[in-house]
Amino acid sequence: MGTGGYTAHETAVIDDGCEIGEGTTIWHFSHLMTGCVVGKNCSIGQNVVIAPGVTLGNGVKVQNNVSIYTGVTCDDDVFLGPSCVFTNVTNPRSAVPRRHEYRSTRVCRGASVGANATIVCGHLIGEYAMIGAGAVVTKDVPAHALVMGNPARRTGWVSAYGHRLEFDGDGIAVCPESNDRYLFKNGSVTALP
């Protein structure tokens, strides 16, 4: 079914009041809730939930069985792997309403979240960071960082193309795919012009 420049499978549930960009595809059994914003050319996999107030930028790819709860913002070109999940309350209790305590989480441009990873609310995942499969993110993740484990710890650095960076004695690394150069200085990585 095509509506408003996007395509949605007939089993998808799209509540009134969603903003969905042109060229976006929404697959089987996904639910987009009132007040969510999905950019252009996104791919929303099967059985995905996008809660009210969530914003996804352009070119975001959401794989199957992902839950994106209120408070989450994903910038352009973010990849969310199968069955990853975002939380939005630090100390949830069934009998204690905490809707007014939702904490914000932002996934910056080009970052990837691996399959079955959990992103605990209230953190920033930097540009082009890579969260390993099954990782549990409990703190901010710097740009270009590769993190793994529970709790997630930085195990290296990656390029915008997702390749591990090996820095020389001058703090310079070259992506083997793009030949882009990166500088490691003062505990962070930046792309060189």
Q: Please give the pLDDT value at position 139.
A: 98
Q: Mark 79-96 as b/e (b = at least 16 C-beta within 10 Å).
A: bbbbbbbbbbbeeeeeee
Query: Tens digits of per-residue pLDDT, 19-53?
Result: 999 999 999 999 999 999 999 999 999 999 999 99
Question: Is 172 buried (19+), middle (13-18) or exposed (0-12) by CB count in 10 A?
Answer: middle
Q: Please give the pLDDT value at position 1.
A: 44
Does 2 have pLDDT greater than 80?
no
> Nearest-5° angle of CA 158, CA 138, CA 32?
85
> What are the residues facing 61 on neighbouring strands?
43, 79
In this structure, the chain runs to a length of 193
pTM: 0.95
Q: How far is CA 25 from the centre of its chain?
A: 17
Query: Tens digits of per-residue pLDDT, 140-152?
Result: 999 999 999 999 9
Query: Tens digits of per-residue pLDDT, 99-141?
Result: 889 999 999 999 999 999 999 999 999 999 999 999 999 999 9
**CA neighbor of 127 nearest in space, from 170, 185, 188:** 188
